[in-house]
Amino acid sequence: MRPAMLSGLISAGVPFATAVDLADPEQLPEKFRQFITLAFELGAPLVPTLSQLELQLRHEERSAQEVSQAQAVPQATRTLLLWLPLVAFLMSQIMGLASFKGLLHPVGIIAGLLAAALLGLGHKISGKMLATFHEPRPDPTHSLMVLRICLAAGEPLSKIETRLAKLDSSETTNLIELSKQTGAKLVSLIDSELEQLNQKLLSERIEGARRLSVKLLIPLSLTTLPAFLLLTLPPIIIGFTQ
């Protein structure tokens, strides 16, 4: 279901309850379902509100896709470096260097265990870095969308400010004050701020993914390079000498 689909059904004269059943809004993200519920409860014009929600949803979907593409590089880097020592060990065995035989020697066993410990450490550290990157972050657009819906419903500004006090609404507070001081139309300020915030959040996430790609090289290099040496040199040397 998309807000545009629900908007189209309502525009066609379909009763709201029937339109909701047909559009199945359960497929929408939670916050968008909350926005639609808020608009309905306050009596905001649903078609314009749903059009704005569709625009915001498209922004967030595009951002998610671009961030996913940007983080593919650090994910691939992590996978490649973690598997490199094991691939090198298998290749040396295939080439007839008796790596597996050397690995069964007591010294080879110790080297293998150390290599496994290093690879496990690299996997854990890099996994924690990726998990930190994916942690949920505050959504500064949430309070702006709430403000826009309340304005569309004609709710008094004093009541809107009370509602926004429960949210992280620094952006909305600044816009309200700016509108009061300059007389600028608050809805236009909100739309402009939403556009800027969407672009800013996207740029920050992509830049974060690029920085992560570089940062991952530090723990992975410090663990996979010694593991690579431990899984190749001692088994090969022992295999040749026996």
**pLDDT tens-place string over residues 37-69:** 888 888 888 888 888 888 888 888 888 888 888
In contact, 234 and 102? CB cutoff 8 Å: yes
Whether residue 105 is predicted with pLDDT greater than 70 in this model: the reply is yes
Question: In the predicted model, what is the mean pLDDT of residues 76-80?
Answer: 83
HSE-CB for 199 with a 13 A CA cutoff = 6
Nearest to 109 by CA among 236, 237, 234, 241: 234
User: Which amino acid belongs to residue 40?
Assistant: F
Question: In the predicted model, what is the mean pLDDT of residues 71-93?
Answer: 82
HSE-CB for 174 with a 13 A CA cutoff = 9
Domain assignments of the chain as residue spans, ordered by start:
74-241
Nearest to 130 by CA among 78, 84, 82: 78
pLDDT band for position 168 (50/70/90)?
Answer: low
pLDDT at res. 117: 92
Residue keyed to tokens 């994916």:
134
Radius of gyration of the chain (CA): 28
SS3 state at 168: coil
Tell me, yes or no, if the pTM score tops 0.85. Answer: no
Residue keyed to tokens 């657009």:
141
Q: Using a pLDDT cut of 70, give the percent of the chain over it.
A: 98
Question: In the predicted model, what is the mean pLDDT of residues 94-102?
Answer: 75
Question: Encoding tokens for residue 139?
Answer: 């959504």
Whether residue 98 is predicted with pLDDT greater than 80 in this model: the reply is no
Lowest-confidence pick of 12-21, 150-159, 172-181, 227-236: 12-21
pLDDT at res. 183: 83
Q: How many residues does the chain have?
A: 242
Distance (Å, whole) CA 32 – CA 25: 9
> What ranges in 95-216 are assigned the alpha helix state H?
99-103, 106-134, 141-152, 157-164, 170-182, 186-215
Whether residue 33 is predicted with pLDDT greater than 70 in this model: the reply is yes
Question: In the predicted model, what is the mean pLDDT of residues 186-200?
Answer: 87
In order of 31, 121, 191, 201, the CA distances from 60 in angstroms are: 12, 35, 15, 10
The mean pLDDT value of the chain amounts to 83
**pLDDT tens-place string over residues 117-129:** 998 998 899 889 8
In contact, 134 and 103? CB cutoff 8 Å: no
List all residues 6 or more positions away from 137 whose beta carbon is below 8 Å from its beta carbon: none
Q: Both ends of the chain: CA-CA distance in Å?
A: 68
